[in-house]
Amino acid sequence: MYYFDPHIHMVSRTTDDYETLAKMGCVGMSEPAFWAGFDRGSVDSFRDYFRQLTDFEPKRAAQYGIQHYTWLCINAKEAENVELSREVIKMIPEFLDKPNVLGIGEIGLNKNTKNESTIFLEHMELAIQYNQQILIHTPHLEDKYQGTRMILDMLTGDSRIDPARVLVDHVEEHTAREVLDRGFWAGMTLYPVTKCTPQRAADIIEMCGAERLLVNSAGDWGPSKPTAVPDLILEMRRRGHSEALIRKVVYDNPIEFFSQSQNFSFQHPE
């Protein structure tokens, strides 16, 4: 089955991973900007990172028949440096016309601090000003429930934000329903052991239905598995779900959501 991974950090993966993903049916992916594992020192460091995301990675992916898209922002982990964050937000429009840029992301909260909220709102303003879609990072573990509520309140507090153009990632059992009920798209991030496993994701699909629900692998620097989406496909087949339902979650839904971006020019492989 062909699939689309809507949230994977390929800058942290090898070219061999691209080959493996292609062999497993991955035909498209989107890569949100994220933390480098250390705080970047200057706006020029972000400019180089955005060049990598908009120029180098799409070429690396294309060698394996994978269409690569991206999202730009400064990560919540670096938002404590408000001055640098503002310089980055000011620089982002240089890249918004690049052909693989889908919007602003992954923005969100990490420790739910005041500075993080300030920078979140300024990213939101940038997205509104340039009519961009938004991809959201919700905090992990004990900060997730409160952080998700704070993020949803900031988004719904501004009537210029259309929830149908916002994807809220890393949802789990206790946050998925509220995200969907408020009209947003929701993404589940699969990790091999910790956090959301393929089994838990299949449970959430059975609880919430497949409407506006996506699944991704994160595939980042930490313990993660870039081929986690095929693991979910297998788990859903094992449970007897139809191929049409599985395809909706791993292929049709991401394409429907991304199609709202003017730069999304995905070519179906069939």
Interaction site with Zn ion (CB under 5 A) = 34
Q: How far is the CB of 268 from Zn ion (least distance, A)?
A: 26
C-alpha separations of 89 from 105, 111, 127, 129, 155 in Å: 11, 20, 10, 12, 18
Q: How far is the CB of 206 from Zn ion (least distance, A)?
A: 25
> Are the beta carbons of 219 and 17 closer than 8 angstroms?
yes
Q: How far is the CB of 15 from Zn ion (least distance, A)?
A: 20
Q: How far is the CB of 56 from Zn ion (least distance, A)?
A: 19
Q: Which residue number, 189 or 253, has a Cβ lying nearer to Zn ion?
A: 189
C-alpha separations of 118 from 18, 122, 123, 124 in Å: 36, 6, 9, 10
Interatomic CA distance for residues 20 and 162, integer angstroms: 36
Interatomic CA distance for residues 144 and 164, integer angstroms: 22
Position with the least CB separation from Zn ion: 34
Q: Which residue number, 34 or 191, has a Cβ lying nearer to Zn ion?
A: 34
Q: Which residue number, 27 or 135, has a Cβ lying nearer to Zn ion?
A: 135
Q: Which residue number, 34 or 46, has a Cβ lying nearer to Zn ion?
A: 34
Q: How far is the CB of 180 from Zn ion (least distance, A)?
A: 20
Q: Which residue number, 34 or 185, has a Cβ lying nearer to Zn ion?
A: 34
DSSP state of 251: I
Residue 70 exposure: Cα atoms within 13 Å on the Cβ side: 27
Interatomic CA distance for residues 116 and 120, integer angstroms: 6
Interatomic CA distance for residues 89 and 129, integer angstroms: 12
Q: How far is the CB of 220 from Zn ion (least distance, A)?
A: 6
Q: Which residue number, 223 or 240, has a Cβ lying nearer to Zn ion?
A: 223
Instruction: Report the candidate in 207, 213, 199 with the shortest Cα–Cα distance to residue 247.
Output: 213
CB neighbours of 263 closer than 8 A, spacing ≥ 6? 69, 98, 99, 100, 101, 102
Q: How far is the CB of 245 from Zn ion (least distance, A)?
A: 26
> Are the beta carbons of 175 and 148 closer than 8 angstroms?
yes
Q: Which residue number, 18 or 34, has a Cβ lying nearer to Zn ion?
A: 34
